[in-house]
Structure 1
Amino acid sequence: MDLERLLFTRANIENVGELLVIIHRCMNEVNY
Structure 2
Amino acid sequence: MGRRKGEKILCWLKNFWLERIYNTCTLHQT
Structure 1: gaps spanning 5 or more residues: 1-5
RMSD (CA atoms): 0.6
Identical amino acids, percent of aligned pairs: 7
Q: Which structure would you say has the larger Rg?
A: 1
Instruction: Give me the TM-score of the superposition, normalised by structure 1.
Output: 0.73
Q: How many residues align?
A: 27
Alpha-carbon distance between aligned partners in 1 of 2:13 and 2:25, rounded to the nearest angstrom: 19
Instruction: Give me the TM-score of the superposition, normalised by structure 2.
Output: 0.76
